Structure 1
Amino acid sequence: MKTPHPRRRRIAAAVAAVFAAALLSTAADPSPDPAQADNPIIQTVYTADPAPLVHNGRVYLYTGHDEDGSTWFTMKDWRVWSSDDMVNWTDHGSPLSLETFSWARQDAWAGQAVERGGKFYWYVPVINDATGRPAIGVAVADSPTGPFRDALGHPLVQNGEIDPTVFIDTDGQAYLYWGNPNLWYVKLNADMISYSGSVTQIPLTTQGFGTRPNSTERPTLYEEGPWVYKRGSLYYMVFAAQCCSEHIAYSTSPGPTGPWTYRGTVMPTQGSSFTNHAGVIDYKGGSYFFYHNGALPGGGGFTRSVAVERFTYNADGTIPQINMTSAGAPQIGTLNPYVRQEAETIAWTSGVETERSGEGGMNVGWIENGDWIKVKGAAFGTGANQFTARVASATTGGRIEVRLDGQNGPLVGTCTVGGTGGWQTWTSVSCPVSGATGTHDLYLKFTGGSGSLFNFDWWRFDAGAGSGGGDLQAVGAGKCLDVPNASTQPGVQVQIRDCSGGPGQQWTHSAAGELSVYTGGSRLCLDASGNGTANGTAAVTWSCHGGANQRWNVNADGTITGVQSGLCLDVSGASTANGALVQLWTCHGGSNQRWSL
């Protein structure tokens, strides 16, 4: 039984209202692309202290996590998200928490991750259980999404202050900066988990960090949350200024350790959070400013949400003033709906949450009637005719309504999800789609009875499949690849039979390499039985799961080879009779191994 999250659901319902209000506010706008609510960029949980990292053409976003209903900075873990278009963000869950550090007591506060030598180092502040004071630990992983492990088993540095930021200079020297109320740095060694020399304090009062009016106790603007980076030959330090409420300011320097010159305000005090915390990157030709506010329903100084804006530096390298918006950054390019997309890749959502999936990664869960997910800018091109979703349900399920440009926009398809016997008992369901052409925002709206309906792992559209697909003909026999009796049961060995164009003979080869068939009830994938790689391995239909034994190369010579096995799809015994079974066999180029789709 899935445990309900009533507090979160109240938040989610209010998120839907915020989104609707944003749409209404632009209804009279005659422009072809009115602003819509895409900020904050995460709506399933409260997030804070964004730390973006660009790696292999993708942005990875490391955040803190404010617990629901917090009345203090109650934070127990950190979260990771990623995007390649700045609007659709994939949830990678929590690969790092207080439990990662055996010596930590509480306060999973603002940190930053960096890559070096193929490993990822995440610097975070926590309360050291032995001393009761803040300390900075470092976790390491082999992937930007973790899992992360404690690299040392003890703090890297500890002087009772927080908010680490890490920067690797162009000469290879790495620096760790941190501090509230002071500002410190240390030179990290190449191993990124030790340092050389002593911890050095940056003198705020004698360098340029602005002047706080009417304050002798704390005369400079610097408060906390430093973010250091280099652009050209100039070093930037962006920081939270003058609590409380904070704004974001910055200083620049000709070197990584100063002297610093104050440059002014980046983001004035705005939003409903009395703190702010910035991260700045360049990505695919644009510059992006990440921050947090309290814009989501129930939000405030202890329940914050991460947002992002695109900006352009002034000609002299200064940063313009940036204001918070509900529209957020523009999309880079479009999203490809014809490859597997994770259900937890979301531009905006109402009602759902995420959790670890038994098939790996994350899945969307706690789906109830009326909930929905928006995926921005899906490029359908000349048209999609098929939608497939990976789902699981311990109840009687529900439906996925496939809509365009709004939760109540044009309905182009409806997939029925039945009970599967468990919340992590997965199957794939498919349904025909009509009218999905061009580029649109995709809305997946969930309908059904009361309570939790089903879990949702991933989805994919197919082009040209329609309610059927294409014949896959065995050249030597002049017959079609066929699922006996159009069976929807997994594990049925495929055969050849006279071409009828009916269910069980409608095959589609996806960009991901899947050969799938729409039997009239569901979509199943061609599968090398038991992950077999030996001659005689049966070619069967099975629930699509994206494994290597379900990916096939359709070659120019007409052969079809398994990606995992390297063997050819073969009509057993070179038979030409109806019902002849299809298997895998060493490629020899015979007519019983050549196919035409």
Structure 2
Amino acid sequence: MTAARPSPAPRTRFVRAVTWTVSLLLAFAVVPAAVRPTAARADNPIVQHVYTADPAPLVYNGRVYLYTGHDEDGSTYFTMKDWRVWSSADMVNWTDHGSPLSLATFSWASSDAWAGQAVQRNGRFYWYVPVKNRATGRMAIGVAVSDSPTGPFRDALGHPLVENGEIDPTVFIDDDGQAYLYWGNPNLWYVRLNADMTSYSGSATRIPLTTAGFGTRTGDPDRPTLYEEGPWVYRRNGLYYLVFAAKCCSEFIAYSTAPGPTGPWTYRGTVMPTQGSSFTNHPGIVDFKGGSYFFYHNGALPGGGGFTRSVAVERFSYNADGTIPTIGMTSAGAPQVGTLDPYVRQEAETIAWGSGIETEPAGEGGRDVGWIDDGDFVKVKGVAFGTGASSFTARVSSGSVGGTVELRLGSPSGTLVGRCDVPNTGGWQAWTSVTCPVSGATGTQDLFLRFTGGSGYLLNMDWWRFTPRTTAAAPR
């Protein structure tokens, strides 16, 4: 008899207690009634099994890598101990890469793993983050480095890169190769980074916060402009954009533009109005596969709020004059770019929407989906079955009586095209492969892996793959 699996260390348990329908209703709460999408399209927030915040997207090698903060469950403050990485090739199915960076990475840091950004240069990845310096008690900016976008990351310096008590670093590399680090709350600062990305030339320069440059705030004589925090800087068609969280609290997202990376800045208006059950917000903008995408956070998940936030994304188009349109939060999210190939190995932790599941490090490498109860499911969007699949194989484990993986199309209760039984494998990291026949999986469909069985945790899944149906050769 195998001992019962202990509950996961305090991780997000709220999703297990709510149904698919309730999750959508809560997400809809941030959307005006006129633009409410159908349930089948709901993909925001893009991660449902942990709280995420402060998105920082990076496009690399045909994927978007998304670097986020991690709000602890039930937090009543910005209680954040690590950062997370996710990636997607299609903007809807996101792979969980876990936490390759935490406060423990920086021996000199004591707390506050807050909003950062990762950039790529010369085949290496540099992640700039604000943390509290144990020695001084002030917020400082550290930099971690890795040879992979998913880590692991190590402290590049062993001490802060810059420290003046302010937060929210963002990095921009201009077309001429000069890199700039910006950060600040209540001020806005920049330094010119050297080519090594871990040192800088000159001293920190404070950008003048003028009402012409950053809008007018009323009711706070100490902060006359709208600039609050969370800068995000980029260049498009020769124009420099500085997008930022404005006017706490509650914050909205605004932006300014300039002819150069250090100004002078001109205020351009609102990108995303105040909304979304979180009194903070944080922007991240990238272009990917012909589209422009705006990342932000809100409190749309069950239990969500100002200290338990969730990252979401919207696709948008610039106006003809280069201005950014006003963008509203939706539960539909961005449209899928392309389709997902079911005939190559797909990680189980590649998810468009998950209910009840958790992820964890897998004994065979990477991560697995675990802590699965009866009725939990994973949605994978836009799966291109083509002329049809004949079988399904999954890498699974179970330290209990096991369970069944139901393969359904369209919804958790949709058309059943296959059932794979998972036995007790002798442990939660004792892996085996199971295969079952499939019938009726054709065309491009949303696939739901629905888990059924008795009480308690049923099984873990590491990866899955379908086998295509072979077509007999036509007679001569």
Q: Which of 2, 16, 21 matches 1:17?
A: 21
User: What is the one-letter code of the residue matched to 2:14?
Assistant: R
Residue 278 (str. 1) matches residue 283 (str. 2): yes
Counterpart in the other structure of 1:77: 82
1:240 to 233, 245, 250: 245
In structure 2, the partner of 1:229 is 234
Q: What are the equivalent positions in structure 2 for 1:546-557 lying under 5 Å apart?
A: none
State the shift of 1:16 in Å. Answer: 2.2
Percent of aligned pairs sharing the same letter: 76
C-alpha spacing 1:435/1:32, structure 2 compared with 1 (3 Å): farther
Per-residue deviation, 1:13: 2.9
Does residue 1:450 correspond to 2:450, yes or no?
no
Instruction: Give the partner amino acid of 1:171.
Output: D
Q: TM-score, normalised by structure 2?
A: 0.94
Corresponding position of 1:162: 167
One of 320, 337, 347 as aligned partner of 2:342? 337
Instruction: After superposition, give the CA deviation of every residue in 1:546-581 in whole Å (9 maximum; x if it has no partner).
Output: xxxxxxxxxxxxxxxxxxxxxxxxxxxxxxxxxxxx
Shift of 1:206: 6.3
| Contact 1:22–1:37 under 8 Å retained in 2 | no
Contact 1:101 1:153 in 2 (8 A): yes
- Corresponding residue of 1:3: 6
Residue by residue, what CA displacement relative to the aligned partner does 1:381-434 show, whole Å, maximum 9, x if unpaired?
A: 000010000001111110000000000000000000001111111000000000
Deviation at 1:3, TM superposition (A): 2.2
Residue identity in the other structure for 2:17: A
Q: Which has the larger radius of gyration?
A: 1
Q: Give per-residue Cα distances to partners, 1:506-538, cap 9 Å, x unaligned.
A: xxxxxxxxxxxxxxxxxxxxxxxxxxxxxxxxx
Per the TM alignment, residue 19 of structure 1 is displaced from its structure 2 partner at its CA by 4.3
Counterparts of 1:408 and 1:440, CA distance in 2: 14
How far off is 1:213 after superposition?
1.7
Measure how far apart 1:211 and its partner are: 0.3
Structure 2: state its 5+ residue gaps. Answer: none
Change (3 A) 1:243 1:24: closer
Mark the CA change 1:43 to 1:154 in structure 2 (over 3 Å): closer, same or farther.
Answer: same
Residue from 352, 361, 364 that aligns with 2:366: 361
Q: For residue 262 of structure 2, what is the aligned residue in structure 1? A: 257
Partner of 1:335, secondary structure, is: coil
How many residues align structurally? 465
C-alpha displacement of 1:133: 0.5
Question: What is the CA deviation profile of residues 300-334 of structure 1, one whole-angstrom value per residue up to 9, with x for unaligned ones?
Answer: 00000000000000000000000000000000011
Aligned equivalents of 1:277 and 1:241: distance in 2? Answer: 10
> Is the Cα contact below 8 Å between 1:98 and 1:105 reproduced in 2?
yes
Contact 2:191/2:201 (CA < 8 Å) preserved in 1?
yes
Q: Which has the higher contact order (CA 8 A, sep 6+)?
A: 2
Residue of 409, 413, 434 corresponding to 1:429: 434
Contact map agreement 1:15 1:297 (CA 8 A) in 2: no
Cα distance in 2 between the residues matched to 1:8 and 1:16: 16
1:348 corresponds to which residue?
353
Note the residue ranges of structure 1 that are not aligned, 5 or more in a row.
471-597
Within the candidate set 30, 38, 42, 1:37 is matched to: 42
Q: What is the match of residue 421 of structure 2?
A: 416
Contact 1:12 1:44 in 2 (8 A): no
- Which position in structure 2 is the counterpart of 1:62? 67
Deviation string for 1:49-86 (max 9, x for gaps)?
00000001110000000000000000000000000100
Offset at 1:217? 1.5
How much does 1:215 deviate? 2.4
TM-score (norm 1): 0.76
Cα 1:48–1:394 shift into 2, 3 Å = same
Residue aligning to 1:213: 218
Flag the 1:33–1:379 CA change in 2: closer, same or farther, 3 A. farther
- Secondary structure of the structure 2 residue equivalent to 1:99: helix
Aligned to 1:293: 298
Change (3 A) 1:112 1:32: closer
